[in-house]
Structure formats: structure tokens, C-alpha cells
Structure 1
Amino acid sequence: MKGYGSILYWMAPTIVSAVVFLGCVLFHSAPLDAGTIFTVLATLRIMSEPVRMIPEALFVLPDASLFFHSNVTMEWLTLRIETLQNLTVFTAALLLIPVPMDYVSPGLVGLSLSYAFTLTQAQIFWTRWFCNLSNYVISIERIKQFVHIPAEPPAIVEDNKPPTSWPWKGRIDLQSLEIRYRPNAPIVLKGITCTFKEGSRVGVVGRTGSGKTTLISALFRLVEPSRGNIIIDEIDICSLGLKDLRTKLSIIPQEATLFKGSITTNFDPLGLYLDDEIWKVNN
């Protein structure tokens, strides 16, 4: 029994990793830590709920699906490393059994096996540490990409501010408009020339990826034209500041969205109007 106890002791990390890995796969969530489980137990005790509600409570914990794939991959790697190293140590121990005692001393055999088990845990530790370091290095790469993103055009161009009443009609002229999302990307809108007359309702119809959203994005200069002009009531929008342009235009999204806050802040998020003016428009 002592021998089986020693085997279970040394195989405990592998068994725990296997259980955690299976739990991640079956329940499609990251493994729960002890603090979270104790919090659930305390909450159930306060609510005087029976113990049978504990399994159901584990499923309503905050979803950790963002870390699901990372944790499953980590447990997958740990399980296989521990299995291979335990098999290696077990094979080495079996091969040492027929070796004569005069050739290798038992003390040296026991010392080598002890260090072999220690090396297993050390390799698991360094493997986890290296995986976490790789994840953090990815964050640094993203920050480096954000640092080199080109800056947007100025919000306000003092020398070319639109009139207060602009746009007074709403006529939109597209002149040989070409748009691409990156300098080396293919052209999405290819030389569009058309006119949207003031006071008219125009429907833009097309298949998915045909450029309908890109056209709307170009009106708000979310994507800068690579060639051509967009003229609204005789003013080229590319010559205006982004704030001056976007505060003069409005868009109704396809999906209704209610932002956090009061109804007033949803009507006027920038706080440009008085409550009486908002209520007058609402009525």
C-alpha cells in the first residue's frame, strides 16, 4: 500500500491537470478558483438555499469564455508534458531494477529519481511561465501597432469652418470617389460619380460587401477618400475638421441602442442644447 501511495502522490499533478482539462472541455468555461467557489457557498448560505443548488450556481458564475481557449490549451500542454515525463521516469525506474546493486548504488538511484520528479515540476512551471510571457508579449505588440497608427485629421480647422446653418439643403455630390481601407489594400469604391438631390429619399441596394457601409463611412470621414471629392452643399467635406463635419450630420443606426445614463444624455450626449429645446424637439 505504501508503494501505491507514493505513486498516487507523484501522479497527483497529472491527475489534477486531467480533471481540470476535462472540466474545461465539458463545461466550456475556464476553471474555477477556490475563492469563487467559496463566494458562491457563502451566498447560498446567506440565501438559505439547499446544497442541491450548488451545481446550478456554478453555471451562473460570471462567464470566463474569453479565457476558455487559453486555459484549455495550457491544460492540454501540461497534461501531455506530465504524462510524457512520468512515463519517462517510470521507464527509467523499470530499467534500473535489473541493474546489479554493485554497479549502481541504491542511494544514487533514489537520488536520481527524486531529482527527476523535481525536474518534472520545474519544467511544468517554466512552461506555464513561458506561455504567460508569450501572451504578455502579444499585448506589447498590439501597443506598438497602436503607437504607429496614423493620427486622424484635426477636429477643427480654424481657417475653414462651415457656416452655422450648413448644410442648408442637403445636396450630396460624389465626384470620382475612390476609397480603400489601407494604402496597399484594393479599392472598395471605384470611381463613383453621382448626385443625391436635396429633399429626396435614396435607397442604396447591394449584396454583402458591395460598399454600402463604406459609402456611409465616407460621409462621416471614418474612411478617408483616396481619390475624388465629396461635396455637401458646395463645400468639400475633406477640407473641414472632423468635429465640424460630424456634428452637422446625423445617422440612424440599424439597431436601436440606449446608452447608459438619462434620456437627456441619449438625446444630447455632447450637452449642446438646453432641456427645453430637447423637449420641444421630442414633442
Structure 2
Amino acid sequence: EVQEQLSRATEELQAERDVSCGVRRELADQLAAHALQLSQQQDTSAKDREELHGQLTAAMEKERDLSSELAAHTAAKAASGSVQGELKATARLQEAELAAVHERLEIHERAAVDGAKALAKLREEMGVKGTACEALTSELADAAEREKELQALLHETRSRMAQQEVVGADAQRLSRAESELSKREEEVREARRTVQKLQKECAELAARGLRDEAELAARNGALRSLGGQLLKVRDQLETERQWAAQLQMQIESMSGDADEYAQTIATLQQILRDACGGANLGSEAAVEVD
């Protein structure tokens, strides 16, 4: 049993030794690769420094050129400031005109809506009164027909009365017929007066409808005209805004070029400093590896 434990311990120690050897070999390979990488970085850093020095020299020359260009841009910016002020004043005037056109357009739109509602109500009233007029006309025709029948009956009764003496029941029937005829005649006259009144009202409503339709058409024409003016003013205002925006972009571009190149120079200088620092670190690491 002790022998077996010793054997197992020996095997475990051998396994740990193998693992340790493998780790040492792996670390040695990594160290060699790192040393090779540092050597390559040193060569690359030297080339990068030369390139960055050339870029920095070119950037400094470009900065001098930009200084003179910036002076010219500053003068142009001062001149464009007055133009921009004029554009803003023109834009304010056009915005005021646009607001006035909007207000007139809203007034006409409200009036058009009110006119359309009134016209619809008038047409509804015309329809109701037209229906009543048709009903009364039909009743008038029926009453006229009944009147003709009563007149024929009365004429026949009077003819018989002329031929013979009327007594008793015939006299009563004649009296009732005359009374009913008189009543019917009054109903017919009243119906005619009502029909005439309704016809007059219908004619007045029709005339009012024509006037309202003409007024509504005029308002619609005014709305279309104002809409055209509004679109025209909007187009002009949009053109002025685009022009002002382009001018502002040009002004900002004039003042931004120098800042952009100065930032580029500063970036190149920082890259150069970083590259120099990286090269120094690489040299120190190479010394440590050795």
C-alpha cells in the first residue's frame, strides 16, 4: 500500500513537472515573439517619425497660408454681415406679410364656412316649404274638383227648381248644397291664398339661395386668390431663408477652416509625441528582454 502511494505521488510529481515544462516553453515562445514584435515596432516607429515630421512641416506651411486666407475671410465676413442684416430685415417683413395673409385667409375661411352652413339651412327650408306647397297644390286641385261637382249639383237642383215648385226635403237639400258650396269656395280661396304665399316664399328663398351661392362662389374665389398669394409669399420667404442659410454656412466655413487646420496640426504633433514615446518604451522593453 505504501508502495502504491509512492507510485501515485511520483506520477503526480511527474505530471506537474511536465506541466511546468510546458508553461516554461510557452512563456519562452511568448517572450521571443514579444522581442521580435518590439524590434519590428522600433523599425516602424523610425519610419513613422520621418513621415510625421514631413506631415508636420507641410501642415505648418499650410497654417501660414491659412493665416493670410483667414484675414481675407474675416474681411469678407464683415462685408457679408451687412448683407445678412438686410436679409434678416427682408425675412421679418415677409413673415409679417405672411402672417397678415394668414389672418385674412382665416377670416375668409370662417366666412365661407358660415355661408355654406347658411346655404345648407336655406336649401333645407326650401325643401320643406316646397313639399308643403306641393301638398297644398294637390289639396287645391281636389277642392277645385269638389267645387265643380258641387256647382254641377247646384246647377241641376236650380234647374229642377225652375221647372217645379220646391218644397219640403228638396228645399232643405238645396239649402245644404248652397251652404256646402259656399264653404268649399271659401276653402278653395284660402288654399289658393296659402299656395300663393308659399310660392312667393319659395321664390324668395330661391333668390336668396342664388345670392348666397354667388356670394359663396366669390368668397371661394377670394380664398383661392389668397391661397395663391400665401404660397407665393411662402416660396419667397423660403428662398430668402435658404439664401441666408447658405451665406451663414459660408461665413462659418470661412472662420472654421483655420480652426480645423490648427486642430489637424495639433493632432499631428500629438501623434508624433506618442510615436516618440512608444519608440522609447519599445527600446526599454527590448533592454529588459535582453
Calculate the TM-score normalised by the size of structure 2: 0.20
* Bigger helix fraction: 2
* Bigger strand fraction: 1
Calculate the TM-score normalised by the size of structure 1: 0.20
Whichever of the two has the greater Rg, that structure is 2
